[in-house]
Amino acid sequence: MSEFTELNSAPHVALLPGSGMGHLNPFLRLAVSLTNQRVQVSFITTHPIVSKAESKALACLFSANPKITCKEFHLVPFDKSSADSEDPFYLQCAVIRRSSHLLSPLLSSFSPPLSALITDMNLASTVIPVTEALHLPNYILFTSSAQMLSLFVSFPVMVSSKVGGDSDIEGDILTIPGLQEIPKTWIPPFLLNMNKFFRNYFIENGKKTLQSKGILVNTFESLELQTLKALNDGKVVWNLPPVFAIGPFMPYQSSPTLTWLDDQPSKSVVYVCFGSRSALSREQIKELAVGLTRCQCRFLWVVDDNTVNQESSVELDEVLGHEFQEKVKDKGLVVRDWISQEEILGHPAIGWFLSHCGWNSILEAVWHGVPILAWPQMSDQKMNADVVERSGIGMWEKSWGWGDEKTLVNSQEIGEELEKIMRNELIREQAKQMREEARRAVAGGGSSKNAILDLVEIWNSL
């Protein structure tokens, strides 16, 4: 069979990601994974794109994978003064929403016609009405944990059950049907503010997700079995579409790591990174610096005091001081430039990960068997940190709160928690075991591999 015939007999699936690297990366990896299953993949890119990091990642995808075609979705001009947020990624969601009338002709223009569209969870309420009108099956890619998915689909029911439908969640404990009770303090703060655009958008998307044909999650059974079972058994929401656990998504490209790591002993380095959107305050950065020196560990620290993943003109000396860098130069390395986290976590010298618990970061650590010290900063990260703790692959000091709170976590506490996880052999062994479970899940006969094959079979039958 020629390559042309093969492509035209294969299902044709388009992917429409949301904004921000945390949402884009899973779509990039899924695109490559589907291509490897002989699915014809088209990738829809919105223009303008929010950040340089996103532009670079997309360019890498298309250059390395010529079988993946690009389709541009040009957005209407938008006056951000009419929005109630300064966050460029939230604003992008609003722009896509206002451009939804342009999506129907775009989706209709694909040749061969699309078998299905995979949409970011943050775009469900915007896109599903369009695909329903086109009779195009729409699947949601949920870019966080299955545990966070349980909140995403049950939260609209929680608020609608209150008097008036919009009152705040009462009490200190929330119950997600079919699962454990969770403290109200774990809920993303924006969900507790009734006047926030993104709270209402979250509710709308959660409701609309129930009208999708299926929900794809970057997780696997051994990591979140109880939650996945509750979701698919209808215990969380009775009319939920099937949930496909198809993770962990594997790295699709390699980049050179820092040569500094090559000179460090095996499993000796703490990797410290809080993602592309989390930024510690200057005061907290200084406390963390002292905490790292207190425990006398080797460390690689990616410092970011910006809230958006853009280049900064601020020098490291201004943030940490020249004396600190001189003091730790034999055991620590502090960088501001972007580095490939996949490659860092896979380096033999990395022994632990101090993380904000973005879901991509957790899955990358799981893939490489690196224990996690959780320090959630925002959004879904407390829900994800609970997965880390309950699965036994890391620790979470819950008293540290959210990263945007005014109370500082002092250097002594940071040093003590680092020492605890570095001495904990049980966590190290569990992380190693979960690494093997993750690799089995995506191998032939594994649960995640079978879930992807089930999806391809469904698309082939359409």
Q: What pLDDT was estimated at residue 135?
A: 97
CB distance 39 to 74 below 8 Å: no
Helix (H, G, I), strand (E, B) or coil at 378: coil
CB distance 279 to 21 below 8 Å: no
Lowest-confidence segment of 261-275, 301-315, 400-414 by average pLDDT: 301-315
Helix (H) or strand (E) holding 361: helix 359-368
Q: How far apart are the first and last CA of the chain?
A: 22
Give tens-digit pLDDT for 418-429: 999 999 999 999
Place of tokens 């049950």: 154
Query: 159 versus 184: which is more confidently predicted?
Result: 184
Percent of the chain topping pLDDT 70? 88
Percent of the chain topping pLDDT 90? 65
CB distance 68 to 59 below 8 Å: no
pTM of the full structure: 0.92
Place of tokens 């569209």: 117
**Under CATH, which architecture does the 259-438 domain have?**
3-Layer(aba) Sandwich (3.40)
> Strand 394-396 vs strand 243-245: parallel, antiparallel, or unpaired?
unpaired
Q: What pLDDT was estimated at residue 97?
A: 87
Q: What pLDDT was estimated at residue 2?
A: 43
Read off the pLDDT band of 311 (50, 70, 90): very low
Residues serving a catalytic function are 23, 120
Report d(CA 235, CA 31) in Å as an integer.
Answer: 31
Domains 3-252+444-461 and 259-438 equal at CATH topology level = yes
Count of other CB atoms within 10 angstroms of residue 317: 11
Place of tokens 């879901």: 359
51-55, 327-331, 445-449: range with highest mean pLDDT: 445-449
Give tens-digit pLDDT for 153-168: 999 988 875 544 444 6
Strands (E), 303-345: 332-335
Report d(CA 11, CA 116) in Å as an integer.
Answer: 8
Q: What pLDDT was estimated at residue 113?
A: 97
Q: What pLDDT was estimated at residue 190?
A: 83
- DSSP one-letter code for 36: H
Q: What pLDDT was estimated at residue 278?
A: 65
Q: What pLDDT was estimated at residue 123?
A: 95
Give every CB contact of residue 215 below 8 A, 6+ residues apart in sequence.
139, 140, 142, 149, 209, 240, 241, 242, 243, 244
Q: What pLDDT was estimated at residue 232?
A: 98
Asked whether the predicted pLDDT for residue 430 surpasses 90, the reply is yes
Q: What is the full DSSP assignment across 298-312? A: EEEEE----SSSS--
Asked whether the predicted pLDDT for residue 255 surpasses 50, the reply is yes
Lowest-confidence segment of 110-124, 243-257, 419-433 by average pLDDT: 243-257
Give every CB contact of residue 312 below 8 A, 6+ residues apart in sequence.
304, 305, 306, 336
Asked whether the predicted pLDDT for residue 6 surpasses 90, the reply is no
Report d(CA 421, CA 425) in Å as an integer.
Answer: 8
Average pLDDT across the chain, whole number: 88
CATH entry, 3-252+444-461, from 3.30.1600.10, 3.40.50.11540, 3.40.50.2000, 3.30.70.20:
3.40.50.2000
Asked whether the predicted pLDDT for residue 26 surpasses 50, the reply is yes
Read off the pLDDT band of 315 (50, 70, 90): low
CB distance 252 to 335 below 8 Å: no
Asked whether the predicted pLDDT for residue 235 surpasses 90, the reply is yes
- DSSP one-letter code for 238: T
Q: What pLDDT was estimated at residue 335?
A: 87
CB distance 130 to 103 below 8 Å: yes
Domain ranges of the chain: 3-252+444-461, 259-438
Give tens-digit pLDDT for 333-380: 988 766 788 889 999 999 999 999 999 999 999 999 999 999 999 899
Q: What pLDDT was estimated at residue 53?
A: 83
Query: 371 versus 253: which is more confidently predicted?
Result: 371
Lowest-confidence segment of 196-210, 250-264, 386-400 by average pLDDT: 250-264
Give tens-digit pLDDT for 81-108: 555 666 777 788 888 988 999 999 999 9
Give tens-digit pLDDT for 195-223: 677 888 899 999 999 999 999 999 999 99
Q: What does residue 335 show for φ and ψ, rounded to 5 degrees?
A: -130, 155
Q: What pLDDT was estimated at residue 161?
A: 59
